[in-house]
Chain A
Amino acid sequence: MFALLNPISLWFAAALAVPLMIHFLGRQRLQRKPFPSLLLVSERFSKSMHRHRLKNLLLLILRTLLILCVLLALANPALESRQGAVKPDLSLALIHNGIYGRLRMEEGNALETQWSRLRALDSGQGGVTQTLPVIGDGPGAREVSERFGDYGEAIGRILGQIGMHPGIIQIQLPVFAWTDLTGTRAALLRVLQEKPGLQLVLTDFSAAADKLNAFAGLRATAAPDAPALTVQARLAGRASGSDAGRIQVTLNGRLFQEVTPSGGIAEVTLPMGEGPRLAGRFSLPKGGFAAPDLHFCFPETGSLLLGHSGSDLASLPSLGRESYYRRIAHVASVKDMPWTGSQVGPGVKRSGAGGGKPAALRLAYIAAERGAPPEAYARAVEFVKRGGRLIIGVGRDSDVPLLNRFLLQPLRLGRLGNLVESPVDQIVGVDRQALAGIGRLPANRGAPGTVRKRFAYAPDSGTAILLYQGTPAEAVLAARDFQRGKALLWTTDIDDLDWTDLGVSALTPLLHQAFQEADGANGSGNGNLSVASDSVYTAVLEPPAGGEYAGQGAKPDGANALVTVRDPEDRPFTKVTRDGSRLRIGPFDKFGIHRIFAGKDTFAFAVNLAQTQSAGAETQAAAKAGFMAACEPYRGRVTILEPGDPAYVQSSVRRLWPAFLLAAILLLLLEGLISATFSLRRNRP
């Protein structure tokens, strides 16, 4: 069967009209003219005219054929000769255009490979394939993302929708992680059972997905009182070898530092306070893979973050940075937000230790940007009422009247006025006693910094001014206990989550730490560990023995005591070490990276130290084997192909573009030959 593998190029078929238009437009209407005598206009003249017209006609045909051949060559024609191929009535291809699409394959990346396979498949079947991007990256991606929460959910819904379609259906399904199919396996099997005509073609990209696992370990140190952050990357693959040489660390696409790995671990110290870092990467000098891209994400401007459990992100490791932002915004608006207190979000289990303890979210940060819905403010107030601790940041883009009405006044924090800018930096003073009320503070701290811009502020009675500026004291940081919780308000101009405008940046982790420790000091044994402005982990600390914390299964070891930290879904971090005022935690994610955030003065990450690459591969292999075993009753209807596997379509396809290209060249030569021949004949005496 003749098919075009690149039918898009047929849009250029309009070029065929060019020689025809030139021919017919250039062809003048025959003009009748009287002439005294045709004595000298002999028959030979007429023959010459015939030759001229014949030449034009031949050239027209040749040029049209030439363009046709070039077009066909571009359209990549193929001849499918496979015997017994089943032509489906409907071919459905799911395109996974999330972060997995960026995985490097032998030719291009995974997304390009998907499209290439899809085109080949579709051409072989006569263009009946419908495509559906599962994870959107472009305009409308948010809607797609909201329609289908994740890849597995998308597949499940699509399978449910095609159940009524008559005839033979073929689904082209890229598989990046067999574990992703676990949730949809039941749906697949059910449709296979109910729909005899269904054929599944799965392209196994999971080997490439394993590259994500290569970045098997990352540790970081959030230093509250030091403007530096140490990141350790456990390298895998070629990068972990002894001859790997130096590893390049890039941030935002620029080379940041070259480090020499030691024991398969590369460590780099990132300076804090030098602006945002959006993306980092560990790579070999020659461009080889050392670790996958790390995305240090910030919420997009205009979003409102009321905290999130982290589990949502953990369940979507494939989302790219852009989708990640959207995901954050999405989480902020969902109804099943895992509130602290008695309400528990779906999938969030109560912490095991201490029994009956409130789960998950304890600290939230609000970037009160314009466009935040009042409902979110109401939720924030509710959050504080139920014992949450809330930090409110105000910026020039904040909707101050809305903020006053729906957040500050309900919390009895007072009112914000206009932005006041001083010509010089104003040194910030500290009410240490009041500041100590929210947590334990180092005794030897100096001046916290300076502020130039702040909002005029009228506090309510009962509001404590923790940081102030000038005389009389104008509030820079205000605090108020409200029912079971506590709220802090930055009255300075904070434009973004980097807080780059905030001269008191060093205080931010201090406040996090203070909240955390104040919570821990309640004696409940719980500690809210906030390592990022927009994420919260609940650290379940064993009661200290001998004045020191002790981790499960390990005894306190001086400054490095092992502790158990659980994420909001109550999954334990495998390794969290406490190093004085620093805390090091490990990730929990089946692909190695749990999540990573970075800010000027905050840094959060989660890397699964326990799960190695081999473990991930084993999990993948087990999931694949399980899936194939389940598909055994449907033998012949489920095909699993490697990305470059030509067995299904390409082996039966004979590509014809070289033939058409050769024909085009021959036609070009023939055109020249004809032109030359007629020219010689005309000039012959």
Chain B
Amino acid sequence: MPLPSAISDGEKDRPDEAAVRAGRDQDGKVDLDLNAVLSPAYLSSLKGLALKARMVLEGTMAGRHLSPFHGFSSEFSQYKGYVPGDDIKFLDWKVYGRNDQLVTRQYRDETNASVYLVLDSSQSMAFSGGAAVSKLEYAKVLAASLAMMAFGQRDTISVAHGAGEPATFLPPRNSASHLRQVMEMLESLAPGGVTDLELLFGRMAARLKSGSMTFLFTDLWQDPKAVMTGLREIRFKNQSATLVQILAPEETAFLEGTHLELEDMETKATVKISARHLKPQYLETLAAHTEALQAECFDLNVKFARVETSEPYFQAMRRLLQRQRP
């Protein structure tokens, strides 16, 4: 795949991580066109999920002037009165100097978080209509990026996937070997099966630890009520959950043409339609479907994010990492 024009000619032959870094100036700002470099079309030409994930991750954090690698652990949380037995290295001597009181500083990273990445690997996720990568491929890159980010923050990572019953589940760990295992699992992930999100979410809920973070990657092609039943169980056990709806361009804008016979990728059912005539109706129905999902997520305090497989990964990542609503 040709390199985007924003990159100089000398670097066209090696479109790797160095190319991305080469564009960074002394202030750490990126002057590359991230939209082009981190687009699904471009990254799909690269091999190695870890590499893609790293590029996405750096692209996501680029220009924020925050060190993503400090994570939660260095973030001040609150003061606490000193009691004998507390580690005196957390004593705040300045406060003692001003007020003659012994207080200790507490930080948020005193406990590691668990990040659960759940991927819907049903057959419908193999759809790539109008984009360079399929929905599942897109989800894999996002999941890998999140996994690397979590690993860097010493959070434990857990990955699961399946169409209904979870096919694979990696329990939460934080080690380099575990990260490699996660990457291998994600890379070998193949679509198949009929979507049953109620079952998938229900099974996963049973395995979640409390206080964990869960990212659910799916196209949500199921009745919203059934989806919410499973989601409710996850939310019940989880501190936070993010429902990521991944759709292909042809799903959001619908198809063209007048004489089409649509075949359901999972059930193999068919229907004859004129896409040109039915497009307005489809778009209306899709909007209603999305609205219903969003309303349910709002009620459950679940973050809902819809990403399209044609948009650059880093944009999707930034949307996912936006602060959760309280």
Contacts and interface: CB of A to CB of B under 8 A. Distances in A.
B277 A52 contact: yes
Interface in A6-29: 27-29
A682 to B, nearest CB: 7
A374 B116 CA distance: 120
Interface string A333-345: 0000000000000
A45 B273 contact: yes
A39 B222 CA distance: 7
Contact of A28 (B221, B259, B269): B259
A30 interface: yes
Contact of B272 (A27, A29, A49): A49
Contact of A37 (B260, B261, B264, B282): B264
Given A36-B219, A36-B221, A46 B273 contact: yes
A42 B286 CA distance: 12
B285 A33 contact: no
Interface string A24-59: 000111111111111111101110110010000000
B266 interface: yes
Contacts of A44: 281
Contacts of A31: 257, 259-261
A41 B273 contact: yes
B278 A48 contact: yes
A27 B285 CA distance: 28
B121 interface: no
Interface residues of A, number: 23
Contacts of B101: none
B248 A36 contact: yes
B263 A35 contact: yes
B188 to A, nearest CB: 22
A154 to B, nearest CB: 65
Given A40-B286, A46-B273, A35 B262 contact: yes
Interface string B239-266: 0000000001001000101111111111
Nearest to A40: B285
Contacts of B219: 36-37
Contacts of B278: 41, 45, 48-49
A3 B206 CA distance: 87
Contacts of B289: 39-40
A512 B284 CA distance: 105
B278 to A, nearest CB: 5
Contacts of A29: 259
A30 B259 CA distance: 5
B156 interface: no
Nearest to A27: B259
B264 A35 contact: yes
A33 B274 contact: no
A682 B271 CA distance: 19
Contacts of B274: 48-49, 52
B262 A38 contact: yes
B24 to A, nearest CB: 38
B282 A45 contact: yes
A44 B263 CA distance: 17
A348 B273 CA distance: 92
B195 interface: yes
A44 B195 CA distance: 23
B114 interface: no
B195 A37 contact: yes
B285 A42 contact: yes
A46 B127 CA distance: 22
Given A45-B271, A52-B277, A33 B195 contact: no
Interface string B286-306: 100100000000000000000
Query: Interface of chain B, helix or strand or loop or mixed?
Result: mixed
Contacts of A34: 127, 262-263, 265
B124 A38 contact: no
A32 B261 contact: yes
A35 B264 CA distance: 5
Contacts of B248: 36
A52 B271 CA distance: 15
A30 B277 contact: no
Nearest to A38: B264
A60 to B, nearest CB: 16
B261 A41 contact: no
Given A48-B277, A52-B277, A682-B277, A36 B257 contact: no
Contacts of A38: 262, 264, 267, 269, 271
Contacts of A41: 262, 271, 273, 278, 282
B257 to A, nearest CB: 6
A33 B262 contact: yes
Given A30-B261, A32-B261, A37 B124 contact: yes
A35 B282 contact: no
A474 to B, nearest CB: 91
A33 B250 CA distance: 12
Nearest to A43: B271
A32 B285 contact: no
Contact of B263 (A27, A32, A42): A32
A626 B200 CA distance: 114
Nearest to B135: A36
Contact of A36 (B260, B261, B265): B265
Contacts of B223: 39
B221 A37 contact: yes
Contacts of A49: 272-274, 277-278
Contacts of B221: 36-37, 39
A27 B274 CA distance: 12
Given A35-B127, A37-B195, A40-B286, A30 B264 contact: no
Residue from the set A33, A42, A44, A682 with the largest chain B CB neighbour count within 10 Å: A33
A33 B254 CA distance: 12
Contact of B260 (A33, A39, A40, A52): A33
A48 B277 CA distance: 9
B255 A33 contact: yes
Nearest to B195: A37
A37 B277 contact: no
B263 to A, nearest CB: 5
A33 B278 CA distance: 15
Contacts of B129: 35-36
B281 A28 contact: no
Nearest to B283: A40
Contacts of B265: 34-37
Nearest to A44: B281
A37 B196 CA distance: 13
A582 B278 CA distance: 98
A52 B277 CA distance: 9
A48 B285 CA distance: 15
A31 B257 CA distance: 9
Residue from the set B251, B257, B267, B278 with the largest chain A CB neighbour count within 10 Å: B278
Contacts of B125: 36
A37 B266 contact: yes
25 contacts: A30-B272, A31-B259, A32-B261, A32-B263, A33-B260, A33-B262, A33-B263, A34-B262, A35-B265, A36-B248, A36-B265, A37-B219, A38-B262, A39-B223, A40-B285, A40-B286, A40-B289, A41-B278, A45-B271, A46-B271, A48-B274, A48-B281, A49-B273, A52-B274, A52-B277
Closest 8 CB pairs of A and B: A37-B221, A36-B124, A36-B127, A35-B262, A28-B259, A38-B264, A40-B285, A32-B261
Given A36-B221, A45-B281, A46-B272, 9 more contacts: A30-B261, A31-B261, A34-B262, A35-B262, A38-B267, A40-B286, A46-B273, A49-B273, A52-B274
Interface of B: 124-125, 127, 129, 135, 195, 219, 221-223, 248, 251, 255, 257-267, 269-274, 277-278, 281-282, 285-286, 289
